[in-house]
Amino acid sequence: MQALHTLKRQAARIVMVAVMAGISLLPVSAGAQSIIRDTEVEGFLKTQTRPILEAAGLDANRVHYLLIASDDLNAFATLGLRIGINTGTIMEADTPNQLFGVIAHETGHLSGGHMMRTDEIERAARAPMAISLGLGVIAALAGAPDAGLGIAASSGTFGTLGALHYIQTEESAADAAGVKALEKAGMSSKGLVDFFYKFRNVETFSNAERYAFFRTHPLSRERIQALQGVAQRQPHYNVVDSPETVAEFEIVKAKLAGFLYDPIKTFQKYPESDTSYPARYARVIATYKRGQWDQAIDLLDKLIDEQPDNPYLWELKGQIYFETGRATLAVPAHQKSVDLMPQAPLLQLNLGQALIAVGDKDSLTSAVAHLQQSLKYEDDDSFAWQQLAQAYDGLNQPGLARLSTAEAQFYNGDYMAARTSAVWSQKYLDTASPEYRRARDIVMTSSSEMGIDPVDRETRRRGKN
């Protein structure tokens, strides 16, 4: 039986708003946040911040980033080695070093054990959030029933977004720890100071409430001045970002702008006169969002001609085809992205979803293989389990379909439904198979999560018989 993280036991049901054209990030209630997934953006964060995480004494392989689609300036650290970053924080950072400084500060909270109170976590777990599997993991469910209210998301996102309050002493400690981690990683802590100074004045104006960062990370001029004094004494204070890191950062910002900004704003920020790769990348996405699908493909093909081994360009091509109802054309593009980056679970998921939309037996069989590969790397991704259930249904394998549904429900925290689905799956599975044993584990664990003693229940059932 897989170990259950505390947050999985506290998980609330999360609703994904699925929209057929483009990326839609719609909150389901006031104050709700939208979480997005993207291999390229996540890869940049994980690769570039690994030295900081290791310098902070954290296991970099266990730290996960939550990318929050919001213009608000905010970042936070929470249980389970999770660091949340609003896209607004990325877009407002002038340099990679400023972003890395904010992340280093959050690692200070993690390494210092600055966790939120239990009651805050429980409140956050009960709060609904909208999740759009965008920026590479398609939001649309390809005509699946109830597409507008698909249940999706990794359980690792549960119970995090509302529990963001730290006390002032912890903030200062996180500052010091962040500087120490940056220095040990051979990076400058100047970006952290610059970032704080850049937005310090916002606190004093009426629109300060727009920036949740200042509610969760209270700043004072004295605190920043003290931080600057410490930072300036560090040997690596004058180290600057490498040209390669700056180039990757600009690509990340362009991609986020393309998907999250209105196309008009994207074209203003990246006008036709800007012939750089990031600008053209952003304009391809904006062109697609504007409904000019074929023109977007033409522009994208020119980028692919220049960078034929870029998996993210092939991913985007597959996404455009898939979201415009051309799954047959999407499959080879997604296949190319997987061939170039086979260990990326979201790319495997994209391909599996496109193959399901094609719908013939060979495609469904191939979809199962790719979805299983995706789950090999992210076994708590309930959306992947949901897609796997759909593929098994298409192949007329009801036992495996119900078991996959039970997995999806289990990782969404819907233990009652998971238990029911797992029980039904057992009717079709070989009792000696590992799938049957997994179904039994879900029944037992789900019953435990619901406060039911499965052993006592079985004893009483047998007594009645």
What is the reported pLDDT for 227?
87
Q: What dihedral do alpha carbons 201, 204, 209, 215 form, nearest 10°?
A: 80
Query: Which residues, other chains included, contact 310 with Cβ-Cβ below 8 Å and sequence gap of 6+?
Result: 303, 304, 340
For residues 364 and 369, what is the distance between their CA atoms, to the nearest angstrom? 9
The whole-number pLDDT of residue 18 equals 24
Task: For the chain, list residues with pLDDT below 50.
Answer: 1-32, 116-166, 206, 208-210, 454-465
Residue-wise pLDDT tens digits, 178-217: 999 999 999 999 999 998 887 765 555 545 444 555 555 5
Instruction: Take residue 363 and report the two structure tokens written for it.
Output: 């495609």
Report pLDDT for 223: 76
pLDDT at 115: 54
Render pLDDT for 132-177 as a digit per residue (tens, 0 to 9): 333 333 333 233 333 333 323 333 333 344 444 445 567 778 888 9
The pLDDT of residue 173: 83
In 3-state terms, the chain is what percent helix, strand and coil (to 5)?
60, 5, 35
pLDDT at 131: 34
Q: How many whole angstroms separate alpha carbon 293 and alpha carbon 465?
A: 63
Q: pTM for the complete prediction?
A: 0.80
pLDDT of residue 202: 55
What's the pLDDT at 8? 33
**Three-class DSSP category at 83:** strand
237: amino acid identity, one letter: Y
> What is the per-residue pLDDT for 402?
97
pLDDT of residue 92: 92
Instruction: Check residue 80 and give its pLDDT.
Output: 74
pLDDT score recorded for residue 417:
94
* Model pLDDT, residue 220: 63
The reported pLDDT for the residue numbered 213 is: 55
User: Which phi and psi (to 5°) does residue 315 adopt?
Assistant: -60, -45
